Structure 1
Amino acid sequence: MADIDATFDEFLPEALRFRAPAPLVDIGANLTHDSFGRDLEAVLRRARAANVATLIVTGTDRAHAEQAVELAQRYPGLHATAGVHPHDASRWDTSLAAAMRELHQRPEVVAVGECGLDFNRNFSTPAEQERAFEAQLGLAAESGKPLFLHERDAGPRMREMLRTWRDDIADAVVHCFTADRDTLYGYLDLDLHIGLTGWICDERRGHHLRELVGAIPLERLMVETDCPYLLPRDLPARLKGRRNEPALLPWIVREIAHWRDTDEAELACATSDTARRFFRLPQAGEDQENGRAQQEP
Protein backbone atom coordinates (compact mmCIF):
# COMPACT_ATOMS: atom_id res chain seq x y z
CA MET A 1 0.00 0.00 0.00
CA ALA A 2 2.91 2.37 0.63
CA ASP A 3 3.94 2.19 -3.05
CA ILE A 4 0.37 2.92 -4.12
CA ASP A 5 0.18 5.89 -1.77
CA ALA A 6 3.44 7.24 -3.14
CA THR A 7 2.20 6.84 -6.70
CA PHE A 8 -1.06 8.56 -5.81
CA ASP A 9 0.74 11.49 -4.24
CA GLU A 10 3.57 11.90 -6.72
CA PHE A 11 2.38 10.89 -10.17
CA LEU A 12 0.23 13.95 -10.82
CA PRO A 13 1.85 17.34 -10.20
CA GLU A 14 -0.22 19.72 -8.12
CA ALA A 15 -1.09 21.74 -11.24
CA LEU A 16 -2.74 18.67 -12.78
CA ARG A 17 -4.93 17.71 -9.83
CA PHE A 18 -8.20 18.98 -11.24
CA ARG A 19 -11.62 18.32 -9.73
CA ALA A 20 -14.72 18.45 -11.89
CA PRO A 21 -17.59 20.64 -10.65
CA ALA A 22 -19.96 17.64 -11.00
CA PRO A 23 -19.42 13.85 -11.17
CA LEU A 24 -18.15 12.81 -14.60
CA VAL A 25 -18.52 9.67 -16.68
CA ASP A 26 -15.45 8.69 -18.70
CA ILE A 27 -17.04 6.67 -21.51
CA GLY A 28 -13.75 5.35 -22.92
CA ALA A 29 -10.99 4.16 -20.58
CA ASN A 30 -8.60 1.43 -21.74
CA LEU A 31 -7.80 0.32 -18.21
CA THR A 32 -6.80 -3.19 -19.34
CA HIS A 33 -3.76 -1.66 -21.06
CA ASP A 34 -0.47 -2.98 -19.70
CA SER A 35 0.57 0.50 -18.55
CA PHE A 36 -2.09 0.36 -15.81
CA GLY A 37 -0.99 -3.03 -14.51
CA ARG A 38 1.25 -1.76 -11.72
CA ASP A 39 -0.84 1.09 -10.27
CA LEU A 40 -4.49 0.65 -11.25
CA GLU A 41 -5.78 1.24 -7.72
CA ALA A 42 -3.88 4.53 -7.51
CA VAL A 43 -5.27 5.51 -10.93
CA LEU A 44 -8.80 4.86 -9.68
CA ARG A 45 -8.17 6.81 -6.49
CA ARG A 46 -6.94 9.77 -8.51
CA ALA A 47 -10.04 9.50 -10.70
CA ARG A 48 -12.30 9.63 -7.65
CA ALA A 49 -10.36 12.60 -6.29
CA ALA A 50 -10.98 14.35 -9.62
CA ASN A 51 -14.73 13.59 -9.36
CA VAL A 52 -14.60 11.11 -12.24
CA ALA A 53 -17.15 8.84 -10.64
CA THR A 54 -17.91 6.32 -13.39
CA LEU A 55 -15.72 4.67 -16.02
CA ILE A 56 -16.61 2.56 -19.03
CA VAL A 57 -13.71 0.14 -19.56
CA THR A 58 -13.26 -0.56 -23.26
CA GLY A 59 -13.12 -4.15 -24.49
CA THR A 60 -11.46 -4.27 -27.92
CA ASP A 61 -11.12 -8.05 -28.29
CA ARG A 62 -12.16 -11.14 -26.38
CA ALA A 63 -9.28 -11.11 -23.89
CA HIS A 64 -9.58 -7.41 -23.10
CA ALA A 65 -13.38 -7.58 -22.87
CA GLU A 66 -13.10 -10.41 -20.35
CA GLN A 67 -10.55 -8.38 -18.38
CA ALA A 68 -12.87 -5.37 -18.50
CA VAL A 69 -15.68 -7.49 -17.04
CA GLU A 70 -13.37 -8.64 -14.24
CA LEU A 71 -12.48 -5.04 -13.41
CA ALA A 72 -16.16 -4.08 -13.38
CA GLN A 73 -16.84 -6.90 -10.95
CA ARG A 74 -13.98 -5.82 -8.69
CA TYR A 75 -14.32 -2.05 -8.55
CA PRO A 76 -17.40 0.11 -7.91
CA GLY A 77 -18.24 2.57 -10.64
CA LEU A 78 -16.65 0.53 -13.43
CA HIS A 79 -18.56 -0.98 -16.36
CA ALA A 80 -17.39 -2.80 -19.48
CA THR A 81 -17.88 -2.95 -23.23
CA ALA A 82 -17.26 -6.03 -25.37
CA GLY A 83 -16.40 -6.00 -29.04
CA VAL A 84 -13.74 -6.55 -31.69
CA HIS A 85 -11.82 -3.50 -32.89
CA PRO A 86 -11.48 -3.14 -36.68
CA HIS A 87 -7.72 -3.64 -36.35
CA ASP A 88 -8.48 -7.21 -35.21
CA ALA A 89 -11.35 -7.88 -37.61
CA SER A 90 -9.36 -10.55 -39.48
CA ARG A 91 -9.76 -12.78 -36.41
CA TRP A 92 -13.57 -12.77 -36.59
CA ASP A 93 -15.06 -16.25 -36.82
CA THR A 94 -18.01 -18.23 -35.45
CA SER A 95 -16.18 -19.01 -32.21
CA LEU A 96 -15.45 -15.35 -31.57
CA ALA A 97 -19.01 -14.40 -32.44
CA ALA A 98 -20.30 -16.91 -29.87
CA ALA A 99 -17.91 -15.56 -27.21
CA MET A 100 -19.08 -12.00 -27.87
CA ARG A 101 -22.73 -13.02 -27.75
CA GLU A 102 -22.11 -14.58 -24.33
CA LEU A 103 -20.26 -11.52 -23.06
CA HIS A 104 -23.10 -9.25 -24.15
CA GLN A 105 -25.39 -11.10 -21.77
CA ARG A 106 -23.24 -10.16 -18.79
CA PRO A 107 -24.69 -7.40 -16.60
CA GLU A 108 -21.27 -5.73 -16.41
CA VAL A 109 -21.26 -5.21 -20.19
CA VAL A 110 -23.12 -2.02 -21.09
CA ALA A 111 -22.32 -1.73 -24.81
CA VAL A 112 -21.33 -3.69 -27.90
CA GLY A 113 -17.90 -2.59 -29.11
CA GLU A 114 -15.40 -1.15 -29.61
CA CYS A 115 -16.24 -2.01 -33.19
CA GLY A 116 -16.43 -0.24 -36.51
CA LEU A 117 -14.19 0.67 -39.45
CA ASP A 118 -10.64 2.04 -39.70
CA PHE A 119 -9.50 2.64 -43.27
CA ASN A 120 -6.50 4.67 -42.08
CA ARG A 121 -4.18 1.84 -41.11
CA ASN A 122 -6.00 -1.20 -42.50
CA PHE A 123 -4.41 -3.67 -40.10
CA SER A 124 -7.32 -5.82 -41.27
CA THR A 125 -8.53 -5.41 -44.84
CA PRO A 126 -11.61 -3.27 -45.50
CA ALA A 127 -13.52 -6.40 -46.47
CA GLU A 128 -12.59 -8.13 -43.21
CA GLN A 129 -13.54 -5.03 -41.23
CA GLU A 130 -16.93 -4.77 -42.89
CA ARG A 131 -17.64 -8.47 -42.27
CA ALA A 132 -16.81 -8.20 -38.56
CA PHE A 133 -18.68 -4.92 -38.19
CA GLU A 134 -21.79 -6.26 -39.92
CA ALA A 135 -21.78 -9.26 -37.58
CA GLN A 136 -21.46 -7.02 -34.51
CA LEU A 137 -24.30 -4.80 -35.74
CA GLY A 138 -26.36 -7.97 -35.72
CA LEU A 139 -25.24 -8.79 -32.19
CA ALA A 140 -26.16 -5.30 -31.04
CA ALA A 141 -29.63 -5.68 -32.53
CA GLU A 142 -29.94 -9.07 -30.84
CA SER A 143 -28.80 -7.91 -27.40
CA GLY A 144 -30.53 -4.53 -27.47
CA LYS A 145 -27.42 -2.90 -26.03
CA PRO A 146 -25.99 0.34 -27.45
CA LEU A 147 -23.01 0.45 -29.79
CA PHE A 148 -19.56 1.85 -28.95
CA LEU A 149 -18.14 2.74 -32.36
CA HIS A 150 -14.69 3.37 -33.82
CA GLU A 151 -14.28 5.14 -37.15
CA ARG A 152 -11.29 6.62 -38.89
CA ASP A 153 -11.17 7.67 -42.54
CA ALA A 154 -14.25 5.55 -43.17
CA GLY A 155 -17.15 7.95 -42.54
CA PRO A 156 -19.15 7.39 -45.77
CA ARG A 157 -19.03 3.59 -45.53
CA MET A 158 -19.72 3.66 -41.78
CA ARG A 159 -22.82 5.80 -42.30
CA GLU A 160 -23.99 3.56 -45.13
CA MET A 161 -23.77 0.42 -43.00
CA LEU A 162 -25.31 2.10 -39.96
CA ARG A 163 -28.19 3.46 -42.03
CA THR A 164 -29.12 -0.10 -43.03
CA TRP A 165 -29.29 -1.19 -39.39
CA ARG A 166 -30.48 2.03 -37.77
CA ASP A 167 -34.05 0.88 -37.13
CA ASP A 168 -32.81 -2.35 -35.52
CA ILE A 169 -30.18 -1.08 -33.12
CA ALA A 170 -30.47 0.97 -29.96
CA ASP A 171 -28.33 4.04 -29.34
CA ALA A 172 -24.83 4.34 -30.78
CA VAL A 173 -21.89 6.59 -29.97
CA VAL A 174 -18.98 7.43 -32.27
CA HIS A 175 -16.25 7.42 -29.68
CA CYS A 176 -13.18 9.67 -30.00
CA PHE A 177 -14.69 11.70 -32.83
CA THR A 178 -11.96 13.47 -34.84
CA ALA A 179 -13.48 13.86 -38.30
CA ASP A 180 -14.79 16.84 -40.30
CA ARG A 181 -18.03 18.81 -40.35
CA ASP A 182 -19.75 16.74 -43.04
CA THR A 183 -19.00 13.51 -41.20
CA LEU A 184 -20.28 14.98 -37.93
CA TYR A 185 -23.53 16.16 -39.49
CA GLY A 186 -23.96 12.76 -41.14
CA TYR A 187 -23.71 11.03 -37.77
CA LEU A 188 -26.07 13.49 -36.13
CA ASP A 189 -28.56 12.92 -38.96
CA LEU A 190 -28.49 9.24 -37.97
CA ASP A 191 -29.30 10.22 -34.37
CA LEU A 192 -25.91 9.07 -33.11
CA HIS A 193 -24.08 10.29 -30.02
CA ILE A 194 -20.60 11.80 -30.15
CA GLY A 195 -17.69 11.16 -27.77
CA LEU A 196 -14.98 13.82 -27.48
CA THR A 197 -11.47 13.33 -26.12
CA GLY A 198 -8.34 15.36 -25.52
CA TRP A 199 -7.94 15.53 -29.30
CA ILE A 200 -9.59 18.94 -28.97
CA CYS A 201 -6.59 20.00 -26.86
CA ASP A 202 -4.15 19.28 -29.71
CA GLU A 203 -3.35 22.44 -31.64
CA ARG A 204 -1.73 20.39 -34.44
CA ARG A 205 -4.62 18.07 -35.23
CA GLY A 206 -7.66 19.01 -33.18
CA HIS A 207 -8.13 22.69 -33.83
CA HIS A 208 -10.97 22.03 -36.32
CA LEU A 209 -13.01 20.40 -33.54
CA ARG A 210 -13.09 23.70 -31.67
CA GLU A 211 -15.31 25.10 -34.40
CA LEU A 212 -17.55 22.00 -34.44
CA VAL A 213 -18.29 21.32 -30.78
CA GLY A 214 -21.06 23.90 -30.67
CA ALA A 215 -22.93 21.97 -33.39
CA ILE A 216 -23.27 18.87 -31.19
CA PRO A 217 -26.54 18.94 -29.23
CA LEU A 218 -25.82 18.74 -25.51
CA GLU A 219 -28.03 15.66 -25.15
CA ARG A 220 -25.86 13.84 -27.73
CA LEU A 221 -22.45 14.74 -26.30
CA MET A 222 -20.29 12.56 -24.04
CA VAL A 223 -16.69 12.87 -22.85
CA GLU A 224 -13.80 10.45 -22.54
CA THR A 225 -10.06 10.21 -22.08
CA ASP A 226 -9.42 7.14 -24.29
CA CYS A 227 -6.58 6.62 -21.81
CA PRO A 228 -3.74 5.76 -21.85
CA TYR A 229 -3.82 7.41 -25.27
CA LEU A 230 -4.45 11.05 -26.30
CA LEU A 231 -2.87 12.85 -23.38
CA PRO A 232 -3.98 16.50 -23.77
CA ARG A 233 -1.13 18.56 -25.23
CA ASP A 234 -2.11 21.79 -23.51
CA LEU A 235 -1.92 20.68 -19.89
CA PRO A 236 -0.54 23.37 -17.54
CA ALA A 237 2.28 21.09 -16.35
CA ARG A 238 4.35 18.23 -17.74
CA LEU A 239 3.42 14.65 -16.90
CA LYS A 240 5.91 11.83 -16.49
CA GLY A 241 5.63 9.08 -19.04
CA ARG A 242 2.97 10.73 -21.25
CA ARG A 243 0.29 8.27 -20.08
CA ASN A 244 -3.21 9.70 -20.04
CA GLU A 245 -5.57 8.69 -17.23
CA PRO A 246 -9.16 9.36 -16.08
CA ALA A 247 -8.13 11.99 -13.51
CA LEU A 248 -7.39 14.32 -16.43
CA LEU A 249 -10.93 14.19 -17.83
CA PRO A 250 -11.94 17.42 -16.01
CA TRP A 251 -9.33 19.29 -18.07
CA ILE A 252 -10.91 17.99 -21.30
CA VAL A 253 -14.35 19.04 -20.06
CA ARG A 254 -12.97 22.50 -19.28
CA GLU A 255 -11.61 22.81 -22.83
CA ILE A 256 -14.85 21.65 -24.44
CA ALA A 257 -16.86 24.06 -22.29
CA HIS A 258 -14.56 26.89 -23.34
CA TRP A 259 -14.96 26.23 -27.05
CA ARG A 260 -18.72 25.74 -26.70
CA ASP A 261 -18.98 28.92 -24.63
CA THR A 262 -20.83 26.80 -22.06
CA ASP A 263 -20.66 26.79 -18.27
CA GLU A 264 -18.27 24.05 -17.17
CA ALA A 265 -20.58 22.70 -14.46
CA GLU A 266 -23.50 22.63 -16.88
CA LEU A 267 -21.44 20.67 -19.40
CA ALA A 268 -20.24 18.24 -16.72
CA CYS A 269 -23.79 17.54 -15.53
CA ALA A 270 -25.20 17.24 -19.04
CA THR A 271 -22.57 14.84 -20.39
CA SER A 272 -22.88 12.61 -17.32
CA ASP A 273 -26.67 12.57 -17.54
CA THR A 274 -26.42 11.67 -21.22
CA ALA A 275 -23.90 8.89 -20.53
CA ARG A 276 -26.03 7.39 -17.77
CA ARG A 277 -29.07 7.33 -20.04
CA PHE A 278 -27.08 5.98 -22.97
CA PHE A 279 -25.41 3.12 -21.08
CA ARG A 280 -28.43 2.58 -18.78
CA LEU A 281 -26.32 3.12 -15.70
CA PRO A 282 -27.46 3.59 -12.11
CA GLN A 283 -28.07 7.15 -11.04
CA ALA A 284 -25.24 8.98 -9.30
CA GLY A 285 -24.51 7.42 -5.92
CA GLU A 286 -26.02 4.04 -6.72
CA ASP A 287 -22.77 2.68 -8.19
CA GLN A 288 -21.04 2.82 -4.81
CA GLU A 289 -23.89 0.98 -3.11
CA ASN A 290 -23.81 -1.69 -5.81
CA GLY A 291 -20.04 -1.94 -5.49
CA ARG A 292 -20.21 -2.48 -1.75
CA ALA A 293 -22.80 -5.21 -2.29
CA GLN A 294 -20.51 -6.91 -4.84
CA GLN A 295 -17.61 -6.94 -2.42
CA GLU A 296 -19.55 -8.37 0.52
CA PRO A 297 -18.82 -12.07 1.23
Structure 2
Amino acid sequence: MNQPLIDIGVNLMHRSFQQDREQVVEKAAANGVTPLVITGTSLRSSQEAARYAGRYPDKLYATAGVHPHDAKSCDGETLAKLEALAALPQVVAIGECGLDYNRDFSPRDVQRKWFAEQVQLAVRLDMPLFLHEREAFPDFIGILKEQAVQKAVVHCFTGSSAELKAYLERGWHIGITGWICDERRGKHLKELVRMIPLDRLMLETDAPFLTPRDLKEKPADGRNEPAILPHILQTVARCVEKTVEEVAEVTTATARAFFGIGQG
Protein backbone atom coordinates (compact mmCIF):
# COMPACT_ATOMS: atom_id res chain seq x y z
CA MET A 1 0.00 0.00 0.00
CA ASN A 2 1.54 3.29 -1.11
CA GLN A 3 -1.04 5.55 0.55
CA PRO A 4 0.40 7.06 3.74
CA LEU A 5 -1.60 7.04 6.96
CA ILE A 6 -1.88 9.72 9.63
CA ASP A 7 -2.02 8.58 13.25
CA ILE A 8 -4.09 11.36 14.81
CA GLY A 9 -3.48 10.27 18.42
CA VAL A 10 -0.04 9.20 19.69
CA ASN A 11 1.05 9.73 23.29
CA LEU A 12 4.63 10.07 22.09
CA MET A 13 5.82 11.95 25.16
CA HIS A 14 4.83 9.02 27.38
CA ARG A 15 7.68 7.67 29.49
CA SER A 16 7.59 4.31 27.67
CA PHE A 17 8.99 6.09 24.59
CA GLN A 18 11.76 7.84 26.52
CA GLN A 19 14.58 5.61 25.27
CA ASP A 20 13.62 5.22 21.58
CA ARG A 21 11.31 8.08 20.61
CA GLU A 22 13.14 8.90 17.38
CA GLN A 23 13.24 5.25 16.33
CA VAL A 24 9.50 4.95 16.94
CA VAL A 25 8.88 7.88 14.57
CA GLU A 26 11.23 6.37 11.97
CA LYS A 27 9.65 2.93 12.25
CA ALA A 28 6.19 4.45 11.81
CA ALA A 29 7.32 6.26 8.64
CA ALA A 30 8.87 3.06 7.32
CA ASN A 31 5.44 1.44 7.74
CA GLY A 32 3.74 4.30 5.88
CA VAL A 33 2.46 6.06 8.99
CA THR A 34 3.43 9.72 8.68
CA PRO A 35 2.88 12.38 9.87
CA LEU A 36 1.94 11.77 13.49
CA VAL A 37 -0.13 13.99 15.78
CA ILE A 38 1.23 13.92 19.33
CA THR A 39 -1.43 14.16 22.02
CA GLY A 40 -1.07 16.76 24.75
CA THR A 41 -2.78 15.59 27.95
CA SER A 42 -1.53 18.13 30.49
CA LEU A 43 0.08 21.54 30.30
CA ARG A 44 3.50 19.99 30.74
CA SER A 45 3.01 17.21 28.20
CA SER A 46 1.50 19.71 25.75
CA GLN A 47 4.59 21.90 26.08
CA GLU A 48 6.85 18.88 25.60
CA ALA A 49 4.82 17.68 22.61
CA ALA A 50 4.95 21.08 20.93
CA ARG A 51 8.67 21.38 21.54
CA TYR A 52 9.39 17.90 20.17
CA ALA A 53 7.09 18.27 17.17
CA GLY A 54 8.79 21.56 16.34
CA ARG A 55 11.99 19.63 15.66
CA TYR A 56 10.32 17.63 12.88
CA PRO A 57 8.36 19.99 10.61
CA ASP A 58 5.75 18.23 8.46
CA LYS A 59 6.48 14.91 10.19
CA LEU A 60 5.16 15.65 13.67
CA TYR A 61 2.33 17.84 14.92
CA ALA A 62 0.83 18.24 18.38
CA THR A 63 -2.31 19.07 20.28
CA ALA A 64 -2.41 21.31 23.36
CA GLY A 65 -4.84 20.62 26.16
CA VAL A 66 -5.58 19.19 29.60
CA HIS A 67 -7.15 15.75 29.93
CA PRO A 68 -9.95 15.45 32.52
CA HIS A 69 -7.67 13.31 34.68
CA ASP A 70 -5.38 16.34 35.02
CA ALA A 71 -8.08 19.01 35.32
CA LYS A 72 -7.38 19.28 39.05
CA SER A 73 -3.93 20.68 38.21
CA CYS A 74 -5.30 23.65 36.21
CA ASP A 75 -4.95 27.16 37.57
CA GLY A 76 -5.34 30.78 36.53
CA GLU A 77 -2.41 30.58 34.10
CA THR A 78 -3.39 27.37 32.31
CA LEU A 79 -5.56 28.88 29.57
CA ALA A 80 -3.05 31.60 28.70
CA LYS A 81 -0.28 29.02 28.40
CA LEU A 82 -2.44 26.77 26.20
CA GLU A 83 -3.25 29.76 24.02
CA ALA A 84 0.44 30.52 23.62
CA LEU A 85 1.05 26.93 22.52
CA ALA A 86 -1.89 27.11 20.12
CA ALA A 87 -0.15 29.95 18.28
CA LEU A 88 2.71 27.63 17.26
CA PRO A 89 2.48 26.29 13.68
CA GLN A 90 2.96 22.66 14.78
CA VAL A 91 0.03 22.80 17.23
CA VAL A 92 -3.10 21.81 15.31
CA ALA A 93 -5.87 21.30 17.90
CA ILE A 94 -6.99 22.02 21.46
CA GLY A 95 -7.12 18.90 23.59
CA GLU A 96 -7.09 16.18 24.69
CA CYS A 97 -9.91 17.57 26.78
CA GLY A 98 -13.30 16.34 27.89
CA LEU A 99 -14.95 14.47 30.75
CA ASP A 100 -14.13 11.12 32.37
CA TYR A 101 -16.64 9.88 34.94
CA ASN A 102 -15.22 6.36 34.75
CA ARG A 103 -12.17 7.04 36.90
CA ASP A 104 -12.93 10.45 38.38
CA PHE A 105 -9.25 11.30 38.89
CA SER A 106 -10.41 14.93 39.04
CA PRO A 107 -13.66 16.02 40.76
CA ARG A 108 -16.51 16.20 38.27
CA ASP A 109 -17.25 19.88 38.82
CA VAL A 110 -13.57 20.64 38.20
CA GLN A 111 -13.62 18.52 35.04
CA ARG A 112 -16.65 20.40 33.73
CA LYS A 113 -15.16 23.81 34.48
CA TRP A 114 -11.89 23.21 32.66
CA PHE A 115 -13.48 21.33 29.80
CA ALA A 116 -15.81 24.28 29.17
CA GLU A 117 -12.85 26.69 29.39
CA GLN A 118 -10.91 24.72 26.76
CA VAL A 119 -13.93 24.45 24.49
CA GLN A 120 -14.36 28.23 24.69
CA LEU A 121 -10.67 28.67 23.86
CA ALA A 122 -10.92 26.45 20.78
CA VAL A 123 -14.04 28.24 19.56
CA ARG A 124 -12.43 31.64 20.07
CA LEU A 125 -9.27 30.57 18.23
CA ASP A 126 -11.25 28.72 15.53
CA MET A 127 -9.26 25.55 16.19
CA PRO A 128 -10.37 21.90 16.15
CA LEU A 129 -11.07 20.07 19.39
CA PHE A 130 -9.53 16.69 20.26
CA LEU A 131 -12.04 15.20 22.69
CA HIS A 132 -12.21 12.54 25.40
CA GLU A 133 -15.41 11.13 26.89
CA ARG A 134 -15.98 8.21 29.26
CA GLU A 135 -19.35 7.59 30.93
CA ALA A 136 -20.15 11.30 30.85
CA PHE A 137 -22.12 11.72 27.64
CA PRO A 138 -24.99 14.00 28.85
CA ASP A 139 -22.69 16.57 30.47
CA PHE A 140 -20.11 16.20 27.69
CA ILE A 141 -22.45 16.91 24.80
CA GLY A 142 -24.27 19.57 26.83
CA ILE A 143 -21.09 21.64 27.16
CA LEU A 144 -20.26 21.22 23.47
CA LYS A 145 -23.77 22.20 22.37
CA GLU A 146 -23.74 25.24 24.65
CA GLN A 147 -20.64 26.48 22.84
CA ALA A 148 -22.01 25.58 19.36
CA VAL A 149 -18.86 23.60 18.55
CA GLN A 150 -18.39 23.06 14.82
CA LYS A 151 -15.05 21.29 14.48
CA ALA A 152 -14.29 18.36 16.77
CA VAL A 153 -13.09 14.78 16.75
CA VAL A 154 -14.28 12.38 19.43
CA HIS A 155 -11.02 10.56 20.08
CA CYS A 156 -11.03 6.81 20.72
CA PHE A 157 -14.78 6.44 20.26
CA THR A 158 -16.16 3.40 22.13
CA GLY A 159 -19.70 4.59 22.83
CA SER A 160 -23.22 3.62 21.86
CA SER A 161 -25.17 3.90 18.63
CA ALA A 162 -27.20 6.81 20.04
CA GLU A 163 -24.06 8.66 21.07
CA LEU A 164 -22.46 8.12 17.66
CA LYS A 165 -25.58 9.44 15.92
CA ALA A 166 -25.55 12.53 18.13
CA TYR A 167 -21.94 13.26 17.20
CA LEU A 168 -22.46 12.69 13.49
CA GLU A 169 -25.62 14.83 13.44
CA ARG A 170 -23.51 17.75 14.64
CA GLY A 171 -20.92 17.26 11.94
CA TRP A 172 -18.16 16.04 14.24
CA HIS A 173 -15.48 13.51 13.37
CA ILE A 174 -14.79 10.14 14.98
CA GLY A 175 -11.45 8.59 15.90
CA ILE A 176 -11.18 4.80 15.87
CA THR A 177 -8.38 2.95 17.67
CA GLY A 178 -7.28 -0.64 18.13
CA TRP A 179 -10.23 -1.05 20.49
CA ILE A 180 -12.06 -2.25 17.37
CA CYS A 181 -9.63 -5.20 17.23
CA ASP A 182 -10.64 -6.41 20.71
CA GLU A 183 -12.93 -9.43 20.41
CA ARG A 184 -14.24 -8.79 23.94
CA ARG A 185 -14.85 -5.05 24.18
CA GLY A 186 -14.77 -3.95 20.56
CA LYS A 187 -17.41 -6.17 19.03
CA HIS A 188 -20.05 -3.43 18.89
CA LEU A 189 -17.60 -1.09 17.19
CA LYS A 190 -17.34 -3.43 14.22
CA GLU A 191 -21.02 -2.71 13.57
CA LEU A 192 -21.06 0.96 14.51
CA VAL A 193 -18.08 1.90 12.33
CA ARG A 194 -20.28 1.25 9.30
CA MET A 195 -22.43 4.21 10.32
CA ILE A 196 -19.49 6.63 10.06
CA PRO A 197 -19.05 8.28 6.65
CA LEU A 198 -15.47 7.74 5.51
CA ASP A 199 -14.93 11.48 5.27
CA ARG A 200 -15.76 11.82 8.98
CA LEU A 201 -13.56 8.93 10.11
CA MET A 202 -9.96 9.12 11.31
CA LEU A 203 -7.59 6.44 12.57
CA GLU A 204 -5.36 6.44 15.63
CA THR A 205 -3.36 4.08 17.82
CA ASP A 206 -3.50 5.97 21.15
CA ALA A 207 -0.03 4.46 21.60
CA PRO A 208 1.45 3.25 23.89
CA PHE A 209 -2.02 2.16 25.00
CA LEU A 210 -4.66 -0.07 23.35
CA THR A 211 -2.35 -2.50 21.58
CA PRO A 212 -4.63 -4.52 19.25
CA ARG A 213 -5.37 -7.83 20.94
CA ASP A 214 -5.50 -9.75 17.66
CA LEU A 215 -1.95 -9.02 16.52
CA LYS A 216 -0.25 -12.24 15.44
CA GLU A 217 3.10 -10.96 16.67
CA LYS A 218 2.59 -8.92 19.80
CA PRO A 219 5.27 -6.48 20.99
CA ALA A 220 7.47 -8.09 23.62
CA ASP A 221 6.81 -5.24 26.05
CA GLY A 222 3.13 -4.96 25.09
CA ARG A 223 3.62 -1.36 23.99
CA ASN A 224 1.50 -0.05 21.16
CA GLU A 225 3.22 2.03 18.45
CA PRO A 226 2.09 4.14 15.49
CA ALA A 227 3.74 1.59 13.19
CA ILE A 228 0.83 -0.74 14.10
CA LEU A 229 -1.79 1.61 12.60
CA PRO A 230 -1.97 -0.35 9.28
CA HIS A 231 -3.31 -3.30 11.29
CA ILE A 232 -6.16 -1.14 12.61
CA LEU A 233 -6.76 0.13 9.08
CA GLN A 234 -7.17 -3.44 7.82
CA THR A 235 -9.75 -4.22 10.50
CA VAL A 236 -11.72 -1.05 9.75
CA ALA A 237 -11.62 -1.75 6.00
CA ARG A 238 -13.05 -5.23 6.53
CA CYS A 239 -15.81 -3.86 8.76
CA VAL A 240 -16.90 -1.17 6.28
CA GLU A 241 -16.44 -3.49 3.30
CA LYS A 242 -14.09 -1.13 1.47
CA THR A 243 -10.59 -1.68 0.17
CA VAL A 244 -7.68 -0.88 2.42
CA GLU A 245 -6.49 1.63 -0.17
CA GLU A 246 -9.80 3.50 -0.26
CA VAL A 247 -10.10 3.73 3.52
CA ALA A 248 -6.47 4.85 3.78
CA GLU A 249 -6.87 7.51 1.10
CA VAL A 250 -10.08 9.02 2.44
CA THR A 251 -9.20 8.93 6.14
CA THR A 252 -5.79 10.47 5.45
CA ALA A 253 -7.35 13.24 3.35
CA THR A 254 -9.89 13.80 6.12
CA ALA A 255 -7.19 14.11 8.78
CA ARG A 256 -5.18 16.54 6.63
CA ALA A 257 -8.21 18.75 6.09
CA PHE A 258 -9.37 18.57 9.72
CA PHE A 259 -6.02 19.48 11.26
CA GLY A 260 -4.84 21.72 8.43
CA ILE A 261 -1.84 19.48 7.77
CA GLY A 262 -0.07 19.92 4.43
CA GLN A 263 1.31 17.21 2.23
CA GLY A 264 4.76 17.49 3.81
Whether 2:193 is the aligned partner of 1:179: answer no
Structural RMSD (CA): 1.0
Query: What is the aligned counterpart of 2:239 among 250, 259, 278?
Result: 259
Q: Residues 225-282 of structure 1, C-alpha deviation per residue, up to 9 Å, x if partnerless? A: 0000000000111320000000000000000000111111000000000000000010
Whether 2:50 is the aligned partner of 1:69: answer yes
Letter in 2 for 1:158: F
Which secondary structure does the structure 2 equivalent of 1:230 belong to?
A: coil
Query: What is the aligned counterpart of 1:230 among 189, 201, 210?
Result: 210
Alpha-carbon distance in 1 for matches of 2:146, 2:92: 23
* Alpha-carbon distance, 1:90 to partner: 1.3
Please name the residue that 2:104 is paired with.
122
Task: Give structure 2 stretches of 5+ with no counterpart.
Answer: none
Please name the residue that 1:131 is paired with.
113
Taking only the aligned residue pairs, the percentage that are identical comes to 49
Alpha-carbon distance in 1 for matches of 2:94, 2:6: 18
Letter in 1 for 2:98: G
Does the aligned pair in 2 maintain the 1:198–1:252 contact within 8 Å? Answer: yes
Q: Residues 143-198 of structure 1, C-alpha deviation per residue, up to 9 Å, x if partnerless? A: 111000000111122111111112xx441000000111111111111111000000
* Alpha-carbon distance, 1:95 to partner: 1.0
Which secondary structure does the structure 2 equivalent of 1:213 belong to?
A: helix
Query: What is the aligned counterpart of 1:60 among 41, 62, 80?
Result: 41
Letter in 1 for 2:183: E
Query: What is the aligned counterpart of 2:145 among 163, 172, 186?
Result: 163
Query: What is the aligned counterpart of 2:124 among 142, 151, 157?
Result: 142
Please name the residue that 1:92 is paired with.
74
Larger Rg: 1
Please name the residue that 2:65 is paired with.
83
Task: Give structure 1 stretches of 5+ with no counterpart.
Answer: 1-19, 288-297
Tell me how many residue pairs correspond in the alignment. Answer: 263
Please name the residue that 2:193 is paired with.
213
Letter in 2 for 1:67: E
Which secondary structure does the structure 1 equivalent of 2:221 belong to?
A: helix
* Alpha-carbon distance, 1:222 to partner: 0.1
Alpha-carbon distance in 2 for matches of 1:29, 1:258: 23
TM-score relative to the length of structure 1: 0.87
Query: What is the aligned counterpart of 2:133 among 138, 144, 151?
Result: 151
Greater than 3 Å deviation, 4+ residue runs: none
Does the aligned pair in 2 maintain the 1:105–1:143 contact within 8 Å? Answer: no
Query: What is the aligned counterpart of 1:27 among 2, 5, 8?
Result: 8
